[in-house]
């Protein structure tokens, strides 16, 4: 930012400044490798675990198990470490995988908070962290992941409220936050998710009224809300949703 500011005033230095601010932002394949190694270091791995053996620098990281790189660039596009019996935390360096499109860590024993840096993964389309022990608040900046299509945090210990910035997730089709500790009311902004087909926020600690804006989601096919302390508008919402042809509804009786 400072450099950019200077650039606006330093005409003679324009090109130099441009190069300098670019260099600060640029990540490359060696950044990807160090991000993966930072993740490896934050796991409690047994020496005989497949990752301990396979993720070694004798092999290009694009050939590491669970890692898929792009065809033209040696940058990580998919990281799939699901069902691997992993325990540990997500290091902030994972946010340096700037070409990442799909991240699957489901069914492991990850714990701790999601680092803010993950919100830098602006190309992310699929994020599945379900069946882990993650805790802490769902980051308010989640709306920055504006390419997200499928998002599952199911079966964790996420707390805090549903951030209104989710309204920014304009291509989101699946939101599954079942079985967490999410509190407060459902923000009316949820009605702006116009591509949403599946909305599961059952078995949390939600309270307040179901916002009528939910019936604005014309693409909605499944809505699951039981196991909360939601109140009011049940029948009204149900009638509206029926008119919108929502096929499956749970927790609205
Ligand atoms: C990759 O980026 C790092 C840190 O920004 C830099 O030190 C390194 O020289 C770069 N490598 C290549 C091959 O560009
Ligand atoms: C690592 O896994 C990849 C993909 O499964 C495999 O091709 C490779 O042979 C493995 N390498 C080692 C050293 O285990
Ligand atoms: C992730 O990897 C596992 C094991 O290799 C595989 O069974 C699963 O289909 C993959 N998931 C996705 C979404 O690619
Ligand atoms: C979860 O991962 C474990 C390996 O850690 C595997 O044995 C189990 O089948 C997986 N569960 C599901 C539902 O895929
Ligand atoms: C990677 O990310 C961390 C934390 O977000 C940052 O401090 C570091 O400078 C980044 N490394 C590179 C090589 O870009
Ligand atoms: C959530 O936290 C409780 C209490 O610490 C614990 O018993 C439970 O196993 C945790 N759930 C998950 C999915 O990690
Ligand atoms: C919404 O997404 C855009 C990118 O599409 C991003 O620039 C902006 O910061 C996001 N806003 C919020 C509130 O997350
Ligand atoms: C996330 O992973 C679980 C398995 O742990 C699977 O049942 C679910 O369909 C996945 N959800 C998404 C949105 O990919
Ligand atoms: C969304 O829903 C609210 C409440 O039902 C309604 O007042 C509003 O007009 C709707 N907006 C659109 C764009 O349909």
| Ligand 2 contact via 53 beta carbon (within 6 Å) | yes
| Ligand 2 contact via 54 beta carbon (within 6 Å) | yes
Summarize the confidence of residues 147-156 as an average pLDDT: 98
Nearest alpha carbon, ligand 5 atom 9: 93
Substitution site in 47, 51, 54 for ligand 2 pocket (most atoms within 8 Å of beta carbon): 54
Q: What is the mean pLDDT of the chain?
A: 87
pLDDT 10s digits, 76-99: 999 999 999 999 999 999 999 999
Note the CATH number of domain 138-253: 3.80.10.10
CA distance 212 to 234: 10
Return the ligand number nearest the Cα of 95.
5
Summarize the confidence of residues 216-232 as an average pLDDT: 90
Task: List ligand 1's pocket residues with C-beta within 6 A.
Answer: 28, 30-31
Query: Can you give the pTM of this predicted structure?
Result: 0.88
| Ligand 4 contact via 50 beta carbon (within 6 Å) | no
Two structure tokens written together for 244: 């919108």
Substitution site in 157, 177, 180, 203 for ligand 6 pocket (most atoms within 8 Å of beta carbon): 157
At residue 10, the pLDDT reads 39
pLDDT above 70 as % of the chain:
82
Domain ranges of the chain: 45-102+113-123, 138-253
Give the number of the atom of ligand 7 that is nearest the alpha carbon of residue 141: 14
Domains 45-102+113-123 and 138-253 share a fold: yes
- Write the class of the CATH domain 45-102+113-123: alpha beta
Give the model's confidence band at 27: pLDDT under 50 very low, under 70 low, under 90 confident, else very high. confident
- Cα(133) to ligand 6 centroid in Å equals 7
């Amino acid at each position: 930012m400072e450099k950019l500011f200077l650039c606006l005033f330093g005409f003679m230095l324009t090109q130099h400044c441009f190069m300098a601010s670019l260099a600060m932002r640029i990540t490359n394949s060696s950044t990807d490798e160090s991000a993966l190694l930072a993740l490896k270091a934050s796991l409690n791995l047994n020496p005989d675990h497949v990752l301990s053996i396979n993720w070694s620098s004798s092999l290009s990281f694009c050939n590491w198990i669970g890692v898929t790189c792009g065809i033209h660039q040696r940058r990580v596009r998919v990281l799939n470490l699901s069902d691997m019996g992993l325990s540990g935390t997500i290091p902030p360096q994972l946010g340096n995988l700037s070409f990442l499109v799909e991240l699957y860590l489901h069914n492991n024993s990850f714990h701790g908070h999601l680092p803010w840096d993950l919100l830098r993964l602006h190309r992310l389309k699929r994020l599945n962290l379900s069946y882990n022990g993650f805790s802490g608040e769902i980051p308010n900046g989640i709306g920055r992941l504006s390419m997200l299509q499928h998002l599952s945090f199911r079966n964790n210990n996420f707390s805090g409220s549903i951030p209104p910035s989710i309204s920014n997730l304009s291509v989101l089709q699946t939101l599954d936050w079942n079985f967490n500790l999410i509190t407060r009311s459902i923000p009316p902004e949820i009605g702006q998710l116009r591509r949403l087909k599946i909305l599961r926020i059952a078995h949390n600690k939600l309270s307040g009224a179901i916002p009528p804006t939910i019936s604005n989601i014309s693409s909605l096919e499944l809505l699951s809300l039981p196991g909360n302390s939601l109140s009011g508008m049940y029948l009204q919402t149900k009638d509206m949703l029926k008119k919108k042809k929502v096929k499956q509804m749970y927790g609205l009786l």
